[in-house]
């Protein structure tokens, strides 16, 4: 890839080589094999690059893998959630309960529909929306519960299914940060009236961009496909404007990547699990850092990124310094989340810091480290040592969880 860039029309500045940071330990590095390359090449040889046979194949394989009846491929997890809310008739004047904490921040889709997002605090250990706290936020205008599997850890689906049934609300599973994890024997993506996935980095199943909505509801799937994009047969339809569709479909090339990735998912997840084990071993030397939490009802967790939760002695600015120190050593690390209720748009709606203390306590000190199947034990050893040394250098002392 670097050679291609070097041969581009734009010259390097002042004779310096233009190069990508190949020597960096990157946060995410997709696991792409000859299988994906062959499928993309096959898609390129087809006469249709939009909504063709490869998209249908990926939809069917992905849905079957999760035990769902329908898969609807879309351009992103956020767009998929937006289409789902719209297909459920949710819009201005309605409210949807969601968490302000997460990586993909799919709750933006609620705002895009014109509905109002109502935040609730999280479970401190799992990082997922807390069902008891969510229940207190339900009001007359509440039309749905949007619940995420944060960083791969399944939410408390047993409690949320009971809550949704008791209150007569549709339950939407946001699985944009999770694939392969299991709760009480069931794969994430199999809960709620519908579930939403995202295939952008740093997702384990990575297509560059794209997403998928899964459901067992025939009518909901048909409406999602209608709203996703205008088809050729609709070009002269006088009724198509009654529910204006989006341009939110997935390309054949993206679907080709996805088809190859879902066929190799077990292999991809196994490599990532090995890297998680490397981290677990090295973290034993990091004073005060506990192993990642796994709830009692959770059978298996596949993390999206490897996140370290630093202790109360560390401020948000100290975490920023640690990230800068790691960048000096060519390690890409980032804060895991900027909570939605602290972002400008939502502060304009009245949300403010201090309303969700558990979210803030975690978000201020959660650092995401490189996590992908190409990392070797020496890489992980260097990453952890660099972070540990920096945590002492910033003056916070040993980590206290």
187-231 pLDDT, tens per residue?
999 999 999 999 999 999 999 999 999 999 999 999 999 999 876
344 HSE (CA, 13 A, CB side): 0
Short-list 136, 198, 197, 195, CA closest to 170? 195
Q: How far apart are CA 122 and CA 390, in angstroms?
A: 29
Question: What confidence score (pLDDT) does residue 240 get?
Answer: 59
Q: Which residues of the chain have pLDDT under 70?
A: 1-22, 231-242, 395-401
* Helices and strands: H and E segment counts in the chain: 14, 13
Within the chain, which residue ranges are assigned CATH 3.40.640.10?
34-263
Task: Please report how the helices 77-87 and 218-228 are oriented relative to each other, as an axis angle in degrees rounded to 10.
Answer: 120
Please provide residue 381's backbone torsions phi and psi, each rounded to the nearest 5 degrees.
Answer: -60, -45
Give me the pLDDT at residue 396, please: 53
Cα–Cα distance measured from residue 398 to residue 401, given in angstroms and rounded to the nearest whole number: 10
Q: Which element (helix H / strand E) includes 386?
A: helix 377-393
Give the pLDDT confidence of 339-351 residue by residue, as tens digits: 999 999 999 999 9
| pLDDT reported for residue 400 | 44
Provide the 8-state DSSP code for 191: S
- CATH tag, 265-393: 3.90.1150.10
pTM, rounded to two decimals: 0.91
The CATH number of the structural domain formed by 34-263 is: 3.40.640.10
Give the whole-angstrom CA distance, residue 367 versus residue 350. 28
pLDDT of residue 62: 98
Please name every residue paired with 118 in a beta bridge, in sequence order, or none if there are none: 97
Which residue do the tokens 């491929």 mark? 73
* CATH 3.90.1150.10 placement within the chain: 265-393
Whether the bond between 202 and the residue before it is cis, its omega within 30 degrees of 0, is yes
Residue 74 gets the label, from left (phi > 0), alpha (psi -120 to 50) or beta, of beta
Please give the Cα distance from 74 to 225 (Å, whole number).
Answer: 9
Q: How far apart are CA 198 and CA 177, in angstroms?
A: 7
């Amino acid at each position: 890839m670097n050679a291609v860039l070097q041969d581009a029309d734009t010259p390097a500045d002042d004779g310096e080589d233009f190069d990508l940071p190949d020597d960096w330990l990157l946060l995410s590095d997709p696991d792409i094999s000859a299988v994906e390359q062959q499928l993309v090449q096959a898609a390129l040889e087809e006469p249709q690059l939009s909504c063709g046979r490869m998209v249908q194949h990926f939809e069917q394989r992905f849905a079957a893998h999760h035990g769902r009846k329908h898969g609807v491929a879309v351009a992103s997890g956020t767009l998929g959630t937006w289409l789902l809310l719209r297909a459920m008739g949710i819009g201005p004047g309605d409210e949807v309960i969601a968490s302000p904490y997460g990586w993909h921040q799919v709750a933006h889709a609620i705002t895009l529909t014109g509905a109002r997002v109502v935040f609730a605090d999280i479970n401190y250990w799992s990082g997922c929306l807390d069902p008891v706290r969510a229940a207190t936020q339900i009001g007359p205008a509440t039309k749905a519960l949007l619940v995420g599997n944060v960083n791969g850890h399944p939410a408390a689906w047993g409690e949320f299914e009971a809550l949704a049934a008791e209150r007569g609300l549709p339950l939407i599973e946001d699985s944009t940060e999770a694939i392969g994890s299991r709760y009480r024997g069931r794969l994430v993506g199999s809960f709620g009236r519908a579930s939403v996935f995202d295939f952008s980095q740093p997702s384990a199943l990575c297509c560059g961009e794209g997403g998928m909505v899964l459901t067992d509801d025939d009518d909901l799937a048909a409406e999602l496909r209608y709203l996703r994009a205008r088809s050729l047969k609709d070009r002269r339809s006088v009724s198509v404007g009654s529910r204006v569709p989006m341009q939110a479909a997935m390309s054949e090339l993206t679907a080709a990547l996805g088809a190859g990735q879902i066929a190799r998912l077990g292999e991809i997840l196994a490599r990532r699990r090995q890297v998680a084990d490397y981290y677990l071993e090295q973290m034993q030397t990091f004073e005060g850092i506990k192993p990642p939490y796994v709830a009692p009802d959770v059978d298996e967790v596949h993390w999206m990124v490897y996140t370290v939760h630093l202790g109360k002695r560390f401020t948000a600015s100290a975490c920023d310094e640690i990230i800068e120190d790691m960048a000096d050593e060519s390690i890409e690390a980032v804060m895991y989340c900027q909570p939605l209720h602290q972002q400008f748009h939502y502060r304009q709606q009245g949300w403010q810091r201090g309303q969700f203390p558990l979210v803030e306590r975690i978000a201020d000190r959660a650092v995401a480290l490189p996590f992908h199947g190409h990392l070797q034990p020496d890489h992980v050893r260097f990453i952890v040592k660099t972070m540990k040394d920096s945590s002492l250098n910033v003056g916070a002392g040993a980590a206290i969880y």
